[in-house]
Structure 1
Amino acid sequence: MLAASLPADPPPGRRFHQPLSAGAEPVGSGRTRFRIWAPDHGRVQLLIEGRDPIDMLALGEGWHEATVECGAGTRYRYGMGEDLVVPDPVSRFQPEDVHGPSEVIDPEAFLWRHGDWRGRPWREAVILEVHAGLWEGFAGVTRRLAEIAARGFTAIELMPVNDFPGARNWGYDGVLPYAPDHAYGSPEELKTLIDTAHGLGLMVFLDVVYNHFGPDGNYIHGYAGGFFRTDIETPWGEAIDFRRPEVRRHFTENALYWLNEYRFDGLRFDAVHAIPDADWLDETAARIRSETEPGRHVHLVLEHDGNAARHLAPGLYDAQWNDDMHHVMHVLLTGETDGYYADYAEAPADRLARALAEGFVYQGDPSPYRGGERRGEPSGHLPPTAFVNFLQNHDQIGNRAFGERLTSLAPVAAVAAATALILLAPAIPLMFMGEDWGSTRPFLFFTDHHDELAPLVREGRRREFARFERFADDQARARIPDPNAALTFETSRTEADEAAREPGRARAALVAGLIALRQREIVPRLEGAVSEGAAAIGPKAVRAAWRLGDGAVLTLFCNLDGSPVPLDGKPEGRWLFVPPEAIEALETGALAPMTTAAVLREPEP
């Protein structure tokens, strides 16, 4: 495993605080202002541990406020009616989990060593997606940062860290969006992770979930029913009502909070197609652009199943996760065509060529999987860096019944060729933790719900797969791991020593070499890059080219088939990357099986 040492610490110096319109805000002189929106209750009490209840002042329009002599470390709840006691929906920390009291946090107590960090340009991003819980929380991730930087990654993306019920969760059952989960560590430990990363030249992105709340620990229904819509259902229940200004503010301020108080370098917005009021997305992007420090590189990325290219306009979002690219690569590598992979079963090499040249495969085209419904918007006008490409991520592994990685589904050589394509194409590459050394451990869907909810989640999970032929009977579905079992979580851990053994060492060296090549030869030329077109050159092979910002032309050849593919003439330029075992075939005018090769033609003088 490659290693790197931490740089010498600069003198401490800066403190950061994002003022919030709700929650517990320190106001100086040992006093804290508490404010909550509870329009369904005319009387709200502040319940501070060890003190008598304090009646909060009703401000009108559902707001309640109290300013009290207390400081950091104070634990509190809100009381409403006879028996409703709730944590703060804008809690900065929940030391006793989602049902316990909230804790007052002093945002300026943390002294940032690298407070002058301004981030890195988006074109430099090579992202490693990380689940903090599987690496022993924030402190465990911090211990691995030097190794991640040494492999050449320039950013990590944390899966959601906000408070969820129990000690473990795959990330998308959060209910308190402002509170880092206590199972991962304290706010100070999360800030230490980010500060340490910045000292190593690493950006840190956060995956945020604004389209739903988890099934346990969301008390908002009890005091602000208008937070939700009753006329629209999402896969997770009633839709959040983004028509209301209080709701918009709740989530927009959350985005600003993570960026300004925690100094995250960017956010990935989960499943925004489930947010019915899409104008909120652009409104929030505009506020972020105007309310983060001038000169900081702050990057905003969407996940949108509808391929909505309109949000990628200048000044809004930098990029979108390109599920189309993943899906067509998965079909080519594994041969699987069930579920949504059916949309990529026909002429997959042609579809891969379109993804490389234009970003989205579906740009308003009818989707067979969706019964002919048209999906997507034109994307060919966008720069290549408007797309985040990947072979694996938390969704595409964790949503499988047994959480298999590509290392268990496709030939090793084919996965290596596909990895080279992802890392050398101009789109922004992302890898999932352990993928960089070819981990074979699964990443399963895991939870830690209470006794009543646990069996419902287990059976609901198994019903999801009933439509697949191989899970048609009860006995087959019963083999799907129980999300609530501790073993399901433990099985998903990636072990660092995998990278120190063969074949992990060889895969780690390949990935590190490809990233270094990308940063040296491709990244400096990405500004202004445009597609020069792409085409299928075999049943599982493509050729794609881009004119880079300095006029050079990058051409990639990728063959995922088991047979060689003839090339039409000798490519012009300098070979940037050719696997040693493919050199002989290239000399005879063919692309070897399961090979990616790259050629760079320098600009005309």
Structure 2
Amino acid sequence: MQTFRFRKTFGAELEAEERTAFTLWAPSSEEVFLEIEGKPAQRMNSDGQGLFSLKATCGAGTRYRFRVSDDQSVPDPASCSQPDGVLGVSVVTDPEAYQWRCPEWQGWPWNEAVIYELHAGLLGGYNGIEQLLDELAALGITAIELMPINSFGGTRNWGYDGVLPYAPAAPYGSPDELKSLIDAAHVRGIMVFLDVVYNHFGPEGNFLPVYAAAFFDHAKNSTWGTGIAFDKPEVANFFIENVLYWLMEYRFDGVRIDAASAISDHAWFGALRERVEGTVEPGRHVHLILENENNDAGLLRDGFTAQWNDDGHNALHVLLTGERDGYYKMFAKDPTQDLARVLAEGFVYQGQFNPYSGKNRGMASGDLSATKFILFLQNHDQTGNRALGERLLALAKPEAVKAAYALLFLSPMIPMIFMGEEWGSLTPFYFFCDFHGELAEQIREGRRKEFAQFPAFQDEKNRERIPDPNALATFEASRPERVARETERGRAWLALTRQLLALRREWIIPYLHDVQSAGVHVLGTGALHARWRLDNKKILILFINFSEKKYEIPEIYHLIYESSENRRVGLLPAFSLVACVEDVA
């Protein structure tokens, strides 16, 4: 058995059984008092530059707040435990109380990653996810990615409205139960990634403006909220240490940085990468993943592991569903050519004009390995940000989705699926939260106004069909129905998932260390012929058809998969995929 801890600059650090060091950056406060339940308030020492500190006689389990003005006491912004929620007291934790069963875990190289994105609350919290690990491992999943678990207002939330980034959300379980989940995943050979949000704070429970106005930069405001002053050393370090805290103390195998494009201080990314590389133990595989509207290929060249490839998803979605509203407008002109560019070069937008935003977007990415891009057909964003949260199988032909599913697992890009996708779930995934009063009404109405621009929701009665994000029923209706796994269709999709992942492990995963595109040829509208050079001196070939037309294709030397059960030799049927390999000439 072994323990792990990461010593933070800020917050409460247990130094001995009955001694804890408290530190708060509060540049807007003239004085700060530590308030421990059951004890008189204690004035904290000031360095004159906004940093307040105090060592107090107390241990793990101590409940405390900081009094930052005469009439305002606040939770610790670096709290490690908020059992009563973001408006309640913070609690001192002992990071070495948890004894790790698998401390020797080193993670997997990136080419091994097959990612399963999930929402902790919908799957029964940390303990509930732990109960699913055996079936995910048997399926071939090698990594689970948790949507944000930082503490947020209320008891249910997507997690992107968090305000206390160091405190695991109490509705999902205790800090030690989260560690147990990660430990159990490692025992089964599964990596665990965490989605983190550093570009804004949520609307409830964020007290930083009261005592640390310098934490924010209003010139950098985004659609998500008030901009954050990453150019301030204290602010930059607060978030860098948050990454290190999750990696070192909780043993997460990586983080996915949400909306990286809203972090305007580009230097912060380099500083983060250097700190991670200088802190993580030698030989351990840790992965830094981006979600970045900017398509910043430079960050991928400079050491970031990979990026969610929204361009790939969007081109596929237009081909599969025909939808062209909202951001799908960016891919409406020629989605076939867009998909061809994704498969050959990674990004569609590499600096050209984006008709949706009215700005140029992205940079050249053709020199990057296919493994720098995470491909997906569904995730929390593209499903949950639909008005009615429909899954892809409710929007497109099943045989077309089956072909796209095969492309997802048999291309050299890193595949990711969304919880329930492995059995073809039709359960919608809605946007949900748990706010009250005026804030709840603002979110409810804002959600409906957001979709008023879409033709299907221009009528007020249709907009009333959009579920209330704050209703408990909306949350419960988003829980994947596991009974569907046992239906004939559910079993067929599970068998398909298992088959495709077995093929990926045999034919693709071992040979991705230096994969290069060997060209993509457009056969016709919705149809492509893509080739990649693998490490084993073979060419991986995919023939892809998302149209109703049949295409002639050349003789296949080593067939590894075909999605159509009645394919004739020399033909690529409608809505199908054929995969094969051949020796390098």
Of 248, 271, 287, which residue of structure 2 is paired with 1:299? 287
Counterpart for residue 329 of structure 1: 316
What residue number does 1:368 align with?
355
Write the letter of the residue equivalent to 1:20: K
Q: Is the 8 A contact 1:350 1:535 kept in 2?
A: no
Structure 1 residue 602, shift from structure 2 partner? 3.2
2:563 aligned residue: 579
Quick check: 1:311 aligned with 2:311?
Answer: no
Q: What does the per-residue CA deviation read over 1:384-408, in whole Å, with 9 as the maximum and x for residues that have no partner? A: 1000000001000011001111011
Q: Distance in 1 between matches of 2:564 and 2:320?
A: 22
Distance in 1, Cα, partners of 2:287 & 2:580:
30
3-state DSSP of counterpart to 1:109: coil
* Counterpart-to-counterpart distance in 1, 2:357 and 2:73: 44
**1:19-98 mapped onto 2 (5 Å cutoff):** 19-98=7-86
| Aligned residues of 1:129 and 1:157 also touching (Cα < 8 A) | yes
Query: Residues 499, 240 of structure 1: CA spacing in aligned structure 2 closer, same or farther, 3 A cutoff?
Result: same
TM alignment of 1:47-446, pairs within 5 A: 47-314=35-302, 316-371=303-358, 373-446=359-432
Q: Distance in 2 between matches of 1:99 and 1:171?
A: 16
C-alpha contact (below 8 Å) 1:364/1:376 kept by paired residues:
yes
Q: 2:572 aligns with which of 574, 578, 591?
A: 591
Out of 547, 555, 565, which is 1:570 matched to?
A: 555
- Measured after TM superposition, the shift of residue 454 of structure 1 is 0.6
In structure 2, distance between residues paired with 1:375 and 1:219: 35
SS of corresponding position for 1:238: coil
SS of match in other structure, 1:107: coil
Asked if the contact 2:564–2:577 (Cα under 8 Å) also holds between the matched residues in 1, the reply is no
Q: Say which SS state the counterpart of residue 198 (structure 2) adopts.
A: coil
Q: How many residues align?
A: 585
Report the AA paired with residue 362 of structure 1.
Y
User: Secondary structure of the residue that 1:118 maps to in structure 2?
Assistant: coil
Q: State the distance in 2 between where 1:80 and 1:297 align.
A: 41
Indicate conservation of the 8 Å contact 1:206/1:268, yes or no.
yes
Deviations 1:248-301 (A, max 9, x none): 010000000000000000110000101111210121012111111111000111
Aligned residues with identical type, % of pairs: 51
- Take 2:322 and 2:346, find their aligned partners in 1: how far apart are those partners? 22
3-state DSSP class of the match of 1:295? Answer: coil
Alpha carbons 1:328, 1:344 under 8 Å: kept: yes
Shift of the alpha carbon at 1:355?
A: 0.4
Instruction: Check conservation: 2:59, 2:92, Cα contact below 8 A.
Output: yes
Q: Aligned AA for 1:591?
A: L
Instruction: Determine if contact 1:582/1:591 at 8 Å carries over to the other structure.
Output: no
Worse overlay, 341-350 or 212-221: 341-350
Question: Contact conserved, 2:16 with 2:59, CA < 8 A, in 1?
Answer: no
Partners of 2:526 and 2:28 in 1: CA distance: 59
TM-score, length of structure 1 as denominator length? 0.95
* 8 Å contact from structure 1 (residues 333, 415) kept in 2: yes
In the alignment, the residues of structure 2 paired with residue 263 and residue 163 of structure 1 have an alpha-carbon distance, to the nearest angstrom, of: 19
Separation of aligned partners in 2, 1:333 and 1:547: 27
What amino acid sits opposite 1:602 in the alignment?
A: D
Helix, strand or coil: the match of 1:555? Answer: strand
Superposed CA deviations along residues 362-421 of structure 1, whole A, max 9, x for unmatched, are 1111222233x2211000000010000000010000110011110110011111100000
**Aligned counterparts of 1:596 and 1:16: Cα–Cα separation in 2:** 47
TM-score by length of 2: 0.99
- Structure 2 unaligned residues grouped into runs of 5+: none
CA distance in 2, matches of 1:442, 1:100: 33
Q: Which structure 1 residue ranges, 5 or more long, are not aligned?
A: 1-12
Q: Specify whether residues 186 and 102 from structure 1 end up closer, same or farther in structure 2 by C-alpha distance, changes over 3 A only.
A: same
Deviation at 1:474, TM superposition (A): 2.4
Aligned-residue CA RMSD (Å): 1.1
Residue 491, structure 1, aligned to residue 462, structure 2: no
1:246 partner SS: helix
Partners in 1 of 2:517 and 2:575 — Cα distance? 24
**Contact preservation (8 Å) 2:564, 2:573:** no
Aligned equivalents of 2:389 and 2:284: distance in 1?
Answer: 37
CA distance in 1, matches of 2:69, 2:412: 57
Distance 2:469 2:126 in 1: 23
